[in-house]
Structure 1
């Protein structure tokens, strides 16, 4: 049974217990039909704050990063967003009783907070780090992904991750938790990390995929390794690229829904409602089913 701790409580000040893009786009998702009017959370009681604004509008705008299939990508055939995060966000909107609209700003804009009400929620596989908790409210994690080391397919020198990567050129997405893992600054309340790689020569990229592309050029040509999620790595491998995963995951990353602390309307009500919905989606098996759908039968909703 998944051991979960809520990051959001319905008080005037939310207490977090945990701490994990590109221009506007209105691509929709076919994951679920629009909910009937007056249904879900919006049909219960008298909402206030940001939840009331969302309910009154009948739509919640969600930011996501479509550069990371199978979490989120734009299907060129249909012009809609598809992926695990897309289905999760759509289900949350359905249970709120509203439709979902999409924005795809850059990742650094999403994680910085101060969204100026351009969107009300982020479902983009974000790690709720201590630093991000200062500007964002987080739900309990809706899933956990293994962070893995990837090397070129021709590499034969990396086997012991605690020694073989020390001082090596390692690619990561700039500002992501993988970079924080390498510089040993990653901190999430409730989690401990074993920083096994020392003195890494860190190379930052706009996305994990760009780092993997440099790794695929040759063993040591530009990079010796990349750290990314197992889902991103496996997707890149499955696409026929000459890279491979080595060793066990270096850590497991909790990923949560985020809401801006600085929204003009009080975000407490929406954050509490979303956290409750995520818990219900864990309990009724919805998140497990969606994980298995998008991750080749793997249930990533269970903390390891």
Structure 2
């Protein structure tokens, strides 16, 4: 009997065991086991990018391509000479578009492939993976091509093509317009509604007119050679041309006295300010425009 523990010792042992079990339960409750996610390794796809460049070159840029100049213009929204000039300038000015060899000595994507991918994504609004099968470049690469292409165009062509018209430009435009029978005109102005496919649901009512799809208004002034001298983009699609004009800075030069002074006669009446040619406007809208310019008819 002396080998047996006393009742007090047994109670202490039981109490310790119970405390240990409770602590283990509490720990497991507060520290649940998180299953380890399986490691997903990147799948390598041999796209054979060399064939993509060869196919593109043979289809559009070889000596006797199967697709004509008109088809090229319709698909690229510009003539071939202009596209080649852009590609050459981008390739020389943006390191991302220079063709390099990888660690194995294999040539990377050509500037033609990258620029064509960017152009098609902008022109057709297609998804990045849509250019993979023909041009042989991955979706992430296509996104990078578009980003670097837009930045490159702004940096390399902005000083020439994204500038305000100078006094010489305005005088030249008015001389051309007068020769065509429109004295005092400096360009044609109009608005279009650009569909906003990924419009936020909360903003859909603001950018939709009636039961139509959400759109954003683009206001543009262009000359007879399709040179865009002014672009105002952003007003919601519920606005019409006149409402967008009220928000636009297109008349700031006139209001601030920077517009060129001209003299011309129309229907026996002399005018002293240049104007933009537009399509049919109602009499109410016409007076609204004139009032906004603080002019008297």
Higher strand share: 1
Instruction: Give the greater-gyration-radius structure (CA).
Output: 2
Using the size of structure 1 for normalisation, the TM-score is: 0.25
Higher helix share: 2
Using the size of structure 2 for normalisation, the TM-score is: 0.25
